[in-house]
Structure 1
Amino acid sequence: MKHDDGPGSSGPSAHPARRRLRAVLAGGLVLGVGAAVTLAAWNDSEFAIGSFAAGQFDLVGSTDGTSFTDHATADTAAPLGFTVNPTNLAPGDVVFAPFAVALEEAATYAAAVTVSAGPVAGSLSGVTYELLRTSTFGCTADTTGTSLVPAGTALGTVSADTTFDLAEPAGGLAPVNLCFKVTAGAITQGADGSAVWEFAAVSQS
């Protein structure tokens, strides 16, 4: 009997062709998977770093306009050098003392300075004062300047919003010069005491 191997035949001669086709397709799938696996991966990175450090800030004071040092507490307050003996006052006497404040040379900020007064020690009723900001260091009866605390202010008090600015040092100290004028009113014989002022600086960025 003769077998028909023509088109559409499902005879034995068709099986090898199908196997070859499947082998080729299978080989193509394998090659495709292999190409996907061997794709190169390109990577690159960028890095950024920030370095930080605190600035410097310190307020110093001077009673001679030349030597500036730190007087950080009431116990280490700078003693004002009054030009008239402040321990032998009579009614109507006026004594004067210069002072200056500055930011130390390494400071990296300007400052706003607020003046406040601590409690008065002893008995100094009737004693008043005035605080001036002056253009140069020094303080006498004739010294004039910008009034920070008006004349007639009682010791132990400061008028509200008594502030001034200090510039950031630029190669050297930039002090603000001050003048204290203290007037003895109706004081009692033998009375004595002391008064402290605070200059509190806050940095300005």
Structure 2
Amino acid sequence: MTDAAAASGKTTARRRVQAVLAGGLVLGVGAAVTLASWNDSEFADGIFGSAAFNLEGSTDGESYTDHASADAAATLDFSADNMTPGQTVHTPFWVRLDADTTVDGTIEAADGIGITGSDGTNTANLSYEVTADPDSCDAAGAATGTTVASGADLSTGVGSTSTIDLTAGEDAAGTPVQLCFSVTAAEEEFAQGDTTEVTWEVLATSVDNS
């Protein structure tokens, strides 16, 4: 074999090796392409705003404020400093949902109106009744309302008997509900020289807004 032929053979062999390597590189690139994938996403936000709910009360039907605890309780004016056996005294209290409230509510039977505390000798000798929307809060008017709570005495835990609906206003306070509290002294057991104090709670519950 001549030097020229040998050189030609080496060149041909090198080209074959290069061709094989080139083919391997092409196959490698092809494999990478077939393993690749695309993905794409969509995202959505949810925004959840809570409603507002607040009950406020008034002893005169005009000026309303929050009485959010027993320590901040409204003072009901029974004019009852000199009660005698068998006497009944009356006083009104108005409740409504405030202007920021956005859902309706109820004062529910069983636990909507109840006594949270009482003190005095005559706790057991004073009975009470609460009526809703009477014509007036006095002896004649109280009988025209709907009885929503009552108790044979002023012991803790006596509950309401009927449900009261409360309506929220639109950018205004809701429709007021007048409650008339009537308290009666026992005929025989009513003790002299005693001062008895009681605290009622009026509990409103928001309704489902669905």
Same fold (TM over 0.5): yes
Displacement after TM superposition at 1:190 (Å): 2.4
Amino acid in structure 2 at the alignment position of 1:140: D
User: Are the counterparts in 1 of residues 101 and 169 from structure 2 also a CA contact under 8 Å?
Assistant: no
TM (norm. structure 1) is 0.72
Q: How does 1:170-189 map to 2 (within 5 A)?
A: 170-171=169-170, 172-186=173-187, 187-189=190-192
Q: What SS does the corresponding residue of 1:92 show, helix, strand or coil?
A: coil
How many residue pairs are counted as aligned between the two chains? 193
Counting aligned pairs with the same residue, the percent is: 35
Contact kept? 1:103, 1:166, Cα under 8 Å: no
TM-score of the superposition, structure 2-length normalised? 0.71
Shift, 1:52, TM fit: 3.8
Deviation at 1:179, TM superposition (A): 0.8
CA contact (8 A) 1:56 1:106 kept: yes
Structure 1 gap ranges (5+): 1-11
Which structure shows the bigger proportion of residues in helix conformation?
2
Question: What is the match of residue 40 of structure 2?
Answer: 44
Counterpart check, 1:30 vs 2:25 = yes
Larger Rg: 1
The residue number in structure 2 matching 1:7 is none
Q: Cα 1:181–1:158, aligned 2, differ >3 Å: closer, same or farther? A: farther
Query: How far is 1:132 from its partner?
Result: 0.8
CA drift at 1:198: 1.0
2:130 alignment counterpart = 131
* Between 93-102 and 107-116, the greater mean CA deviation after superposition: 107-116
Q: How does 1:95-134 map to 2 (within 5 A)?
A: 95-113=89-107, 114-124=112-122, 125-134=124-133
Identify the range of structure 1 (154-163 vs 54-63) with the bigger mean alpha-carbon deviation. Answer: 154-163
> Does residue 190 of the first structure (1) align with residue 193 of the second (2)?
yes
Q: Does 1:79 align with 2:75?
A: yes
SS at match of 1:196: strand
* Secondary structure at the counterpart of residue 69 of structure 1: coil
Which residues of 2 match residues 51-66 of structure 1 at below 5 A?
A: 51-66=47-62
Partner of 1:5: none
Matched with 2:3 is none
- Are residues 43 and 119 of structure 1, via their aligned partners in 2, closer, same or farther at CA, if it must alter by over 3 Å? closer
SS at match of 1:182: strand
- Where do 1:126-165 residues align within 5 Å? 126-134=125-133, 138-143=136-141, 144-150=144-150, 153-157=152-156, 159-160=158-159, 162=161, 164-165=163-164
